[in-house]
Amino acid sequence: MKTFICEICGDAYLGDEKPKQCPFCGAKDTYIKLGDEADPIVNKTIELSEVSRKNLEETLNLELDAHAIYICMANKADTYEIKAMYKRLAKVELEHASAVCKIMKIAQPETRTKTCDEDDVENFKKTLDLEQTAARLYLGFAKEAEEKDIKIFFTALSKVESEHDELIKNYLK
């Protein structure tokens, strides 16, 4: 068994083979390294520009809101599969919020409460909007970032959010 560490969130995965994506934050396997080779972004002290600090604060709020709404959607889901999927998305979004707090060297705020629809299809539509907005926004934040590691961080998050978008599109078929 080996230890693999995600360079985006810093969490470790124990297994015989590297996972295709981080089981915690969803980052692609290109961001996962053997334990002794990893240098997670969240463990670095990064001198943040004003723009990156603002963008990280916006990201923190988006991720905390997404976590809260996905918890609501999980609680109103019609099937166990959809409930489990939303609970997993909620955990990923909370992991993103945690990573932002580690990068900014701040305490993680309390989780939030949000309302959502009673209907799965309406919640899928809302999820698509949230994920597409986040993916687009994070790609823009990556372009604005002056710091190499912040560019990498936002690029990875954008890809994760795009994958969530694809997941939800499958439920709408």
Distance CA 131, CA 126 (A): 9
Q: List % helix, strand, coil for the chain (3-state, nearest 5).
A: 65, 10, 30
The reported pLDDT for the residue numbered 69 is 98
Q: What are phi and psi of 25, to 5 degrees?
A: -105, -10
Reported as type and span, the H/E element at residue 87 is: helix 80-104
CATH: 1.10.10, 2.20.28, 2.40.50, 2.40.360. Which one for 2-42? 2.20.28
Structure tokens at 125: 């539509």
CB 18 within 8 Å of CB 28: no
Residues 6+ apart with CB under 8 A from 127: 70, 73, 89, 164, 168
- Strands 12-15, 2-6: pairing is antiparallel
The stretch 144-173 carries a mean pLDDT of 95
- What pTM was estimated for this model as a whole? 0.95
Beta strand extents in the chain (DSSP E only): 2-6, 12-15, 32-34
What are the residue boundaries of the structural domains of the chain, listed by start? 2-42, 46-172
Query: Residue 93 pLDDT > 90, yes or no?
Result: yes
Per the prediction, the chain carries an average pLDDT of 97
Query: Residue 130 pLDDT > 90, yes or no?
Result: yes
pLDDT per residue as tens digits for the range 19-41 = 999 999 999 999 999 999 999 99
Q: Give the count of beta carbons closer than 10 Å to the beta carbon of residue 107.
A: 7
CATH class of 46-172: mainly alpha
Q: In angstroms, how far is CA 96 from the centroid of its own chain?
A: 4
Query: Residue 98 pLDDT > 90, yes or no?
Result: yes
Rounded to the nearest 10°, the torsion over CA 10, 14, 19, 22 is -30
The stretch 60-71 carries a mean pLDDT of 98
When pLDDT is cut at 50, 70 and 90, the band that residue 68 belongs to is very high
The reported pLDDT for the residue numbered 172 is 85
